[in-house]
Amino acid sequence: MARQDKKVIITCAITGAIHTPTMSDALPYRPEDIARQAIDAAQAGAAILHLHARNPTNGAVSIDPDHFMQFLPDIKASTDAVINLSTGGSLTNTMDERIAPARRVSPEMASLNMGSMNFSMHPLADRYKEWKFDWEEAYLRNSDSYIFRNTFRDIGFTAKELGEAHGVKFEHECYDLGHLYNLRFCMDIGMFKPPVFIQFIFGILGGIGADLDNLVFMKRTADRLFGKDYRWSVLGAGGAQMNFATTAAMMGGNVRVGLEDSLNIARGKLASSNAEQVVKVRRILEDLGYEIATPAEARDMLALKGRERVGF
């Protein structure tokens, strides 16, 4: 069994690399909007902020460290939340490019994707006829030939460059059962020390589907592979977001919400902000009797290096 915590950590993933500006006016891409939405999400109860950057003029996904630096200091100055930088990148980036922002700013946490896979958003392109920016349609359509590359060498490189060199703790993103075994292998060769933090991901096209049987199966497999050496959280993409978060908490896990993973606040209704999703999941969890972890409690639960040791 994973360690059972009394409190539930809410992670909020603010903007991501899946959705494009046409899909929702609420999806932030200017640095001031990313900062404001992140700060509001933290005030609403998110202990961890999972952050990607965007090109401020056209909303395209960016892995330029300068774009991250346009919002990170403001977020740090206004919240105590743990800052977690994505290393997911975009369709064409090398691993070296993907880790460049985290290497520059030495955050407390970074994402680490635990296996190579198809990762496609191409069906979303058919839902829109007009686009805010000309890059969006091709970006979505071309994802049908995208291999999201996360080889053992890539994982080892990231572990060395960020984990060893900067004391960064990882959000191990696991989109399928095999990714849990990949993580176990990496731990066996000494790459990661417990407690590891696993994000179980359901409903990405290319990963395991958003069926509750799969959540039970992933959790049971993780219990067998990691015993007490892990903490876990759940991300349900799209319409699975709130249901999977609720079920995860009921099973002893933590939760992730945010416009990166779902643009909606209810079926067929766009969310007005990231904070609105945090408020909703918090209300559900508190109504069910769960307490929400503060950033300090999250730091303790995940054994993080502390906000005074980041480089921004």
Residues that bind ligand KMH in the complex, under the rule CB under 6 A: 13, 16, 18, 86-88, 111, 113, 173, 201, 204, 237, 260-261
**What residues have CB less than 8 Å from 156, skipping those under 6 apart?**
186, 191
Nearer to ligand KMH by C-beta: 202 or 226? 202
Size of the site for Zn ion (CB under 5 A): 3
Cβ contact 247:202 at 8 Å: no
Nearer to ligand KMH by C-beta: 84 or 273? 84
The C-alpha atoms of residue 17 and residue 188 are separated, in whole angstroms, by: 31
Cβ contact 47:280 at 8 Å: no
* Strand 117-118 relative to strand 147-148, pairing: antiparallel
Q: Tell me if 62 contacts Zn ion by CB under 5 A.
A: no
Q: Which two tokens stand for residue 167?
A: 């004391």
The C-alpha atoms of residue 108 and residue 162 are separated, in whole angstroms, by: 10
Q: Tell me if 199 contacts Zn ion by CB under 5 A.
A: no
Distance, C-alpha 116 to centroid of its chain: 17
Q: Tell me if 241 contacts Zn ion by CB under 5 A.
A: no
Cβ contact 280:241 at 8 Å: no
Q: Which does 201 bind (CB under 5 to 8 A by kind): ligand KMH, Zn ion, none?
A: ligand KMH
Q: How far is the CB of 50 from ligand KMH (least distance, A)?
A: 6
Q: Which does 18 bind (CB under 5 to 8 A by kind): ligand KMH, Zn ion, none?
A: ligand KMH
- Report the residue closest to ligand KMH, judged by CB: 88
- Per CB under 5 A, the list member of 22, 62, 79, 86 interacting with Zn ion is 86
Q: Which two tokens stand for residue 192?
A: 């990661």
Q: Which does 204 bind (CB under 5 to 8 A by kind): Zn ion, ligand KMH, none?
A: ligand KMH
Q: How far is the CB of 237 from ligand KMH (least distance, A)?
A: 6
Q: Tell me if 15 contacts Zn ion by CB under 5 A.
A: no
Cβ contact 14:260 at 8 Å: yes
Neighbours of 107 (CB within 10 A): 29
Q: How far is the CB of 292 from ligand KMH (least distance, A)?
A: 21
Nearer to Zn ion by C-beta: 40 or 261? 261
Cβ contact 234:198 at 8 Å: no
Q: Tell me if 273 contacts Zn ion by CB under 5 A.
A: no
Binding positions for Zn ion, rule: CB under 5 A:
16, 86, 88
